[in-house]
A and B are shown apart, each in its own frame.
Chain A
Amino acid sequence: MPSSLTPSSPALGRTLPPRTLPARAVPRRAVLGGGLGLGALLTLVGCTPTDTTPLPAGDEPVRGGVLRYFEPQTWTTLFPPQAGFYPNGGIVNNITDRLLYQDEETLELHPWIAEELPEVNADATEFTFRIRTGVTYSDGSALDAANVAKNFDLFGLGDNARGLPISEQITNYAGSEVLDDRTVRFRFDAPAPGFPQATSTMNAGLLSNATLDLDSEGFGPGRSTGIATSGPFYIADEEVGTRLSIRAREDYDWAPPHFEHQGRAHLDGLDYLVNAEYSVRIGALVSGQADGVRDVQAPDEARVVEKGIQLFAQPTNGINNCMTLRQRDPILEDVQVRRALTAAIDRERIVSKLFTDNYPVATGILARGAAGYVEAPGAWAFDPQEANRLLDEAGWARPADGGYRVKDGTRLSVRVNIALPQPRSREVQSLVQEDLRRVGVQLLINEGDQAQQTIDSANLDRVQIYHSMVARADYDVVASQWSVNNRNAFLNEDAETGEWGDEEVEEILARVTGSARAEDREAAVADLQEHFIDQAQVIPLFEEPQVFGFRRTVQGFATEPVGRPRFYDVWLADGDTRAEAAGETRSTGSTRSARTTAAEAAGTTTRQEA
């Protein structure tokens, strides 16, 4: 941009004595910097390509290729019970097998590592599984009944000494019994009708005996190659905080029997690359540096599709994205205030401003595809006049200048966390903040990173409104979110005094998790929703999908029931050409990795022969 420099330079040169040269250099540098910045920006705007290359013909899956998949956050642990965090689940779902397989659309259970659905006794306290033969872990050890028992003993009981928590999906676990090589029975202290479904989730991914002896650090970043699983992929390589590479197991032959695709995965492997800056991830996808990304944000959907990228919006079939009002807080204790806040929030406006059709406004506390969904029309209707009336009635007077309401010298002010894993949480809360300000309520937004949000959310003095969501395709999901034994979104019980905010919630939740019959559990979930509406304790905002973007060459992508990616069926239309390219790079590039791969391949062959 030399032209922008010319007008100022002669003028300066004429008027200033030469001794001031160092000082004069400063504005010129600023102008130059600005020019460079502007130039860079124009260049960036100019080079956003559209993917129009013709795809190779044919619907037959092509074998080969390594898929580059960009994640917004780095994974924290691969211990299956803690796989709920999106980045963890995206990995665990692809490296582990489960006893049962849950269909992502019908939510029906199918056999997988278990040969058939389990035998269940009348009061749902005993479950007997028959295990299929010939399944091995990536470390060569066999998957048998004793190993399955060992898995669930750890998931169901946890191990505090090793820092491994109990799975939030397995409650009242009493123990296991190995009946023979292929048969295992699990016993529970109380009815556990959700257990078969729990065995199908990534939180019950099966691990080898050696892996089950690891402690929490062994499942953490830096040690992942030591984790042996039986899934279609195994962990081949890791760079902490940057990259995790999984590769296909050549001898994999135990996909769920009802699948058309059996045997090895189509892909040679997958690289999970962490890139925290959103604009960079989208740029990488559009420019072809990435084959796929998780978390395409709503405002970009149209543009990404325009650029020839495929979008997959997968419903997560759990609790809707919602705000939990913690009634142990002195301000929110008053049901009138809670009702007023509920009426003051314009959910339609939030969704229409921030999201697309993939994010429907919530019609119940659960998503439409979730087990136990009951429609609650008009339950969270927008009515600011009603909100004002309720607050006036509750004694929160609005000052004459229209500022925030006050009662006995206290300002009507509450604080909400930012749910960083959830889509556009900060913007959602900014709009809620606007809505509440209009009725004289101050909403503070709790700033900080994920660690700070977690700490503050567990502290009633810091966060009084908890914004979050949980996904699991079972009735038990409500307990995962609101029970004091799990995520405890209400902080319902005072740890010191033992006082309850609302004990009735916990009683209803106990009926959901502890009733033997499905009808009773469904009824309990409906009761819970009614109680929430009556007491204005939870404000569901919208149904939360996981939105993935993939380049057009990526075929066969699917997710499990709560929207975690499944890469077993994925293939690349240009996979064969890409495999050749990768082969060349490998032979000329790192010899160490080439040798490792060869050794692994040899190891696999030996195992196959054995």
Chain B
Amino acid sequence: MLLNSLLRQPGRLLAAALLGGVALAAWAGATPAAHPPVAPGSPLAKPPADAASAAGPDEEHDDSANLSASARRIYDVGRPRLLQVRTLLRDQDSQASVGSGSLVGPNGLILTNYHVVSQVALEPQRYRLNFQTVDGVSGALQLIAFDVVHDLALVRMAKPPAAVANRGTFDFRPQATPPAQGERIFSLGNPLDIGFEVIEGTYNGLVERSFLPQILFSGALNPGMSGGPVLDDKGRIVGVNVATRRDGQNISFLVPAEFAQALIARGANAKPITASVEPEMARQLLVHQQALTTRFAALPWRETKHAHYSVPVPQEDFMRCWGSSNPAESKGLSFERSDCQMDTAIYINERLRTGDIAVRHEVYDGGKLGALRFAQEAGMSFRNENMGRRTHDLTAPKCQEDFVESGGLPMRTVLCLQAYRRLPGLYDVAVLSQSVDAKAEGVQGRFDARGVSFQNALLLARHYLQGFAWKRSP
């Protein structure tokens, strides 16, 4: 019950907090995990003394004996190949954000998250990338490839220093033998820029009902660890740190290693990216939206229990639906609400997440209000919907509206689209529909898809509207 109410709280954009690539100062307010306003005793609230001791990674600590023997062994193996990836302002040495990375190939090839390097990728004229190893070697980095959908990027040292030449690289755990649920795995990274850490946790399989596969890691990830490797007890990469749930504890997410291997296979020999990344980003997102649209549109709508209305409610294959209603003793409008959304959204920049679908509806009973007041209430609710506005990334919405009939049910329907200003061919679509058949009852539904092609936007809108119907009273 409590968990439900907590889970309902996060907006769809921020259900999962990313772990790096963003200024720590900015995260401090946004992510409970970044600061310690968490319950005392929780592993996230690190006493300052520990933080200070973690800053000297090269020293041998007496308390290192507290770590399990494996964690210590893993850290020793991983330490030479572990790095911090820093985004600096182009013209000064101030860091704008920090993340982590791992050496995965010859000539200083480093794997990290896309969101760790997104500022450099999108605004190379304002930012540059730097690395720092555990033992203090540093230098410039160049972006060479990225997978925006799975939040991965490859960067390469511009001039690999001799000191890092013979450090070897991390191996990947073979895909044929995935870890078993409950297996110990070890996350490496530099949380909050206070020092490199190894964090012991548990592999818990893939996150259920997630459109994009993510590993559920039961361990405490923190901002700044993004892009760091997660190793099995043989020191092989099983995943990459990417996000954590702010409303849970020790609920963290990893990008499965197979996507990193695929990116390395196609990008390891690429030249540094000098042109705009936006066309390639748009191409990757178009591939993703095609897969998402095809899968979503192939699913039938679920049966709804309402006496008069069939309402499009999605299957929960890769979405989660929460329901709510107002108290029965209320004297005004009674309503029941269902809110379905995807857990994963694709990070583009600090302001923009995309590549997901949300469906919600409210069923109204205005029996206590009468026809006029019901129409007024329904109108207020219909009018209040936010259809978006012009931003740095999106055009203003442009809408089409009419009375639409589906399955014998007349509705007032508005279809709004916004185009991406920097990612050609991508659109956000919102469909708002309000039944206008009855004097004192009705249904209002809203469908949203972000980052789809124009054709798919219309296809999804049609699919959604066709999910409405009027049912003959039993």
Q: Do A and B associate with each other?
A: no
